[in-house]
Chains A and B, each alone.
Chain A
Amino acid sequence: MRTAPFEYHRAQDLDDALEWLAGDGDRDVKILAGGHSLLPLMKLKLATPTVLLDVQDVPELRGILLESGWVRIGALTRYVDLTRDATVGDSLPLLSQVAATVADIQVRNRGTIGGSLCHADPAADIPAAVLALDARLVLVGPRGERRVNLDEFTVAPFLTVLEPTEILTAIEFPIPLQSQQSTYLKRPHPASGYPVVGVAITGDASPHEPLSNVRVAVTGIGPKAYRAEKTEGTLKGQVPTPELFRAAADVAITEANMSDEPDLSYREQLTRVYVERALYQFYGGVA
């Protein structure tokens, strides 16, 4: 085999999956969703799970549901579904927009929103939308359910707070006000297509009114995607002007955790430029 040997199990439902995850402790069980991050790592033998737990048949992980005040998106929802689903398109256009920028159609046809978040690649698109839309993640384990936001969920590159016995079942997005505008500006790597930097912005905005409820999320820069809260503070309550955008962009680089990155000054420059341009794009989209 090109991968290390592993046992394959296809879970029937959530209880079955949780049972396998609980296991006897000796086995390294890895959840298989779309497989587009996990399988390449297994072929390189960088991931060597002893059990591959395929969750594609687990009904609790599926579906896009409109609940009171929330859109609940099952963790197994594929990128392509996010780009085509009417509920997502109407309520969470940012999520559709972001999902459409992920890789190519082959990947979007298989890759899942939950898989992306659990993989915790610091250069991924979905986290920007999840942060900018202030979503929470539903984790289910033997002791029940808990909800965390993405900042709490992601610890470091490829590391999350998800316990080995837990499973991410859904992501819950608060339904934004009708007045919410949003945008995503991405700089794809020319080889991999991953975001070198991606900036998502949401907020209640109109061209001559002060900005409120603004959220700015940045991905691709630093060890994990983050909310640029100081940048948000700079923007909050302000009327859009080029000077404001420039000032916000200058603040954005101060809160990026980039100290370990190579080519630091260029990365800072990209962060500054993309935050500024994302703001122009954001306001360009405000009717």
Chain B
Amino acid sequence: MMDVLGQPVKRHEDDRLVRGKGQYTDDIRLPGMVYAHMVRSPHAHAKIKAIDTRAALALPGVLAVYVGSDLKDTVGMIPTAWIPPNAEMKMTPHPALAYDTVRYVGDGVAVVIAEDPYTASDAADLVQVTYAPLEAVVNPREATESDKPLVHQEIPDNVAFHWSVGADLDDVFAASEVVVRQEFRQQRLVPSAMEPRAAVAQYNPATEEMTVWTTTQNPHIHRLLMSGILGIPEHRLRVVAIDVGGGFGSKIACYPDEVVVAYAARALGRPVKWTETRQENFIATSHGRDHVQEVELAGTRDGRIEAIRVKAFSNLGAYLSTAAPGVPTILFGLILNGAYKIPQASVDVYGVVTHTTPVDAYRGAGRPEATYLIERMVDLYARELKMDPVEVRKMNLIPHESFPYTNPFGLEYDSGNYEGTLRRALEMVDYPQFRRDQESLRKQGKYIGIGFSTYVEMCGLGPSEVAGAVGFQGGLWESATVRVHPTGKVTVFTGASPHGQGEETTFAQIVSHELGMPVEDIEVVHGDTARIAMGWGTYGSRTTVVGGAALHMATQKIIAKATKIAAHKLEVSEVDVTFEAGQFGVAGVPGHGMSFASVALDAYLAWSLPEGMEPALEATAFYNPKNFTYPFGAHVAMVSVDPHTGDVELMRYIAVDDVGNIINPMIVEGQIHGGLVQGIGQALYEGAEFDDQGQLITGSFLDYAMPKARFFPQFETDHTVTPSPHNPLGVKGVGETGAIASTPAVVNAVMDALAPMGIRDIAMPLTPIKVWNAIHQQGGI
């Protein structure tokens, strides 16, 4: 049997998903099920004066209308689960349904339950809410000004927290030869998973058990939080996410909606389903990014970066979402030096509440915001020095002999060969030729540009002690159970909760490799708190890194026990037993042995086991990672800018990534492609915009430009392999690298193209009109 580790095994899950046989939350049908529809605020900030539900209740088929005051005494506040240390964080009381004040367009004020979804929707239109609209604030820096309306009366200046790390660098900057300053706007993005959010809740009054099917990346976190909010003990609360159609961070949070649905199911004694519309997804599902960043970089005249200092205003929206406070702090502020050996660094982050949709993790979560900033600054520094941006990178990249490397914020980068990925990327590009072409094309009035991003990111967060130290209100270990059945087939139970990333396949590959059995004989189960004891879910590129390591550990326990049984049956000493390709043998005695499957059967029959051994063949492991893993790479974007229209055409895109050992290169490639599209989408197309009244003016796919396949050239990818030294599989994460690396590469390329016009920066997304305006303001061409 071929070893499948490292092979492009086709994704097991795709057969059912592409045939429409997946089981998404909205596919759940239960006897007696009724439907919920939310009534949402059309105002970004208003007092609720009155709610009249009579007309809605009078509509035939309507069972109930609940408002905030109905829930107030029995349903707890929606909490946040990340409290960054030393940041004096103030909580934003977040009722499941607003009962006093609404704080963003989309804030829930009532829910209608009806026999069918259409009646529920009609009745929702009949709920009369009288609002007294108030002034709103939407920009995170402006919100901190003293004359601005407060989102929560208990939070002065709208600053929910102020988090800072690093020493005062005034002296360093004063003494430095070169200081480059730039302000960046990390625009807000709408994650836009293909599957909108949904929830189905069923309450069994006989057993007092509540089951909630919902679109979550982390059912166990949902159970933990909902248990507290609803007052249902965890052993009577089951959360299930069978298939989830994309999350990108937007399905980490525990939202009011699933809480309201569970409340209604218990109150009515009927199963209740809620599925959001795409319009609701735009306004009521968490957004990503949204920073105003003031950045300073100090360096020498010959190209050595000495210090970086950042002040960031991070927009958190109206309420602190589940992971929100950790994103612009721990996941952003601690990696601002990027892949560079920068001796000094400091960061100040203001977590600001505004009258907008809550902001939480979005693919990359903090690391794209950091990577964009440092990669753009390196280019601006190079430009200031009139040096080649590649040369400046080479001078400042952390050399491969420096690992493990402790960065200025105290993070220990595990392993790296940054020069290696850059070298490979430059080979693929033919950089000198590009520069010659660029020069000659400029003389013809044509503008091409090249942009680099030599990034590093951190993922597979852990250990759990660090989770505690950085204020994450959970563990960051992962669990795996390997259950070998009497026939030798295997079921894997993972506490991670893949929702498109392909671990049903990659995890089977790990087990196949280690136990020497076909992948078809291995089933991977995830996403159900009743079947998996505990786990922390899928986000932050942690699943293979942490969950895969747990699986490896569990598999090793299986092999250890099976080896003992084999030794017993073969009547040899355990040390003489070999195990290869699913076959136990005896060293030096060819032909003498037994299969793994027969050992499994013996383990279950238990007619003759080594003395004192328990029957069966099943093992559970809990892996607490020793450190984060640090994937890295070199990305290169080559663009052509049409100065007459402002159009940016991506001509080539080269991604050389090092994500450690690779289990399935096809899945890795797919993850990189998807990430690139999202990262380049941020650079060129996507941007959520609110008007001054807090109305989302990019609230549909007519206006919000989701990138489409035809916008992109064929990506050119390659990789180097630098295993993580502390991870048993040697893997690093790959889910977010593309989204983290690509945004600055593309913007650097556009700025390179426009350099002859003296254009330094254009706020993302670099839409044609913005590019053309920038050119126009410089006097055109």
Contact = CB atoms under 8 A, between A and B. Distances in A.
A74 to B, nearest CB: 29
A2 B121 contact: yes
Q: Chain B interface mostly helix, strand, loop or mixed?
A: loop
Contacts of B118: 1-2
A192 B644 contact: no
Contact of A190 (B122, B646, B711, B773): B711
B122 A1 contact: yes
B121 A190 contact: no
B645 A192 contact: no
Contacts of A190: 685, 705, 708, 711, 767
A263 interface: yes
Nearest to B642: A273
Nearest to A191: B705
Given A1-B118, A263-B769, A269-B772, A191 B704 contact: yes
A263 B770 CA distance: 11
A269 B645 contact: yes
A127 B772 CA distance: 28
Nearest to A272: B644
Nearest to B770: A266
Interface string B405-442: 00000000000000000000000000000000000000
A270 B645 contact: yes
Contacts of A265: 776
A192 B769 contact: no
Contacts of B122: 1
Nearest to B685: A190
A274 to B, nearest CB: 9
B706 interface: yes
Interface in A172-202: 187, 189-192
Contacts of B121: 1-2
Given A1-B121, A1-B122, A273-B644, A266 B769 contact: yes
Interface in B626-650: 644-646
Interface residues of B, number: 20
A191 B703 contact: yes
Contacts of A269: 644-645, 772
Nearest to A190: B705
Contacts of A270: 645
Interface residues of A, number: 13
A192 B701 contact: yes
B702 interface: yes
A189 B706 CA distance: 11
Contacts of A263: 769
A192 B701 CA distance: 7
Contact of B702 (A1, A191, A266, A273): A191
Contacts of A187: 645
Contacts of A191: 685, 701-706
B677 to A, nearest CB: 13
A189 B647 CA distance: 12
Contacts, number: 34
B279 to A, nearest CB: 9
A270 B772 CA distance: 10
A192 B704 CA distance: 8
A191 B700 CA distance: 9
B20 to A, nearest CB: 16
Interface in B356-370: none
B698 to A, nearest CB: 8
A285 B121 CA distance: 53
A265 B773 CA distance: 9
A68 to B, nearest CB: 42
Contacts of A273: 644-645
A249 B195 CA distance: 45
Contact of A192 (B702, B767, B772, B776): B702
B709 to A, nearest CB: 12
Interface string A207-251: 000000000000000000000000000000000000000000000
Which of A190, A266, A273 has most B Cβ within 10 Å? Answer: A190
Nearest to B703: A191
A89 B575 CA distance: 79
A263 B706 CA distance: 22
A198 to B, nearest CB: 14
A189 B701 CA distance: 11
Contacts of B773: 266
Interface in B729-781: 767, 769, 772-773, 776
B703 A192 contact: yes
Contacts of B703: 191-192
A265 to B, nearest CB: 7
A266 B646 CA distance: 10
A273 B706 CA distance: 26
B711 to A, nearest CB: 7
A266 B702 CA distance: 20
A182 B711 CA distance: 27
B701 A266 contact: no
Nearest to A266: B769
A203 B330 CA distance: 64
B106 to A, nearest CB: 16
Nearest to A3: B118
Contacts of B704: 191
Contacts of B685: 190-191
B192 to A, nearest CB: 11
Contacts of B708: 190
Interface in B558-580: none
B750 to A, nearest CB: 16
A192 B703 CA distance: 7
Interface string B702-738: 1111101001000000000000000000000000000
Nearest to A2: B121
A143 B286 CA distance: 57
A47 to B, nearest CB: 16
Contacts of B705: 189-191
Nearest to B698: A191
Interface in A265-285: 265-266, 269-270, 273
A87 B708 CA distance: 33
A11 B58 CA distance: 35
B440 to A, nearest CB: 21
A107 to B, nearest CB: 13
Contacts of B645: 187, 269-270, 273
A252 to B, nearest CB: 14
Given A1-B118, A191-B705, A266 B772 contact: yes
Interface in B580-621: none
Which of B646, B769, B773 has most A Cβ within 10 Å? Answer: B769
A2 B117 CA distance: 9
Interface in B645-695: 645-646, 685
A265 B122 CA distance: 44
Nearest to B118: A1
Contacts of A1: 118, 121-122
A270 B644 CA distance: 8
A122 B769 CA distance: 20
A182 B215 CA distance: 51
A216 to B, nearest CB: 19
Contacts of B772: 266, 269
Which of B685, B702, B767, B776 has most A Cβ within 10 Å? Answer: B702
Contacts of A189: 705
A265 B703 CA distance: 21
Nearest to B684: A190
21 contacts: A1-B118, A1-B122, A187-B645, A189-B705, A190-B685, A190-B705, A190-B767, A191-B702, A191-B703, A191-B704, A191-B705, A192-B701, A192-B702, A192-B703, A266-B646, A266-B769, A266-B772, A266-B773, A269-B645, A273-B644, A273-B645
Interface of B: 118, 121-122, 644-646, 685, 701-706, 708, 711, 767, 769, 772-773, 776
Given A191-B701, A263-B769, A266-B769, 4 more contacts: A2-B121, A265-B776, A266-B772, A270-B645
Nearest 8 CB-CB pairs, A to B? A191-B705, A190-B705, A192-B702, A1-B118, A273-B644, A266-B769, A2-B121, A191-B703
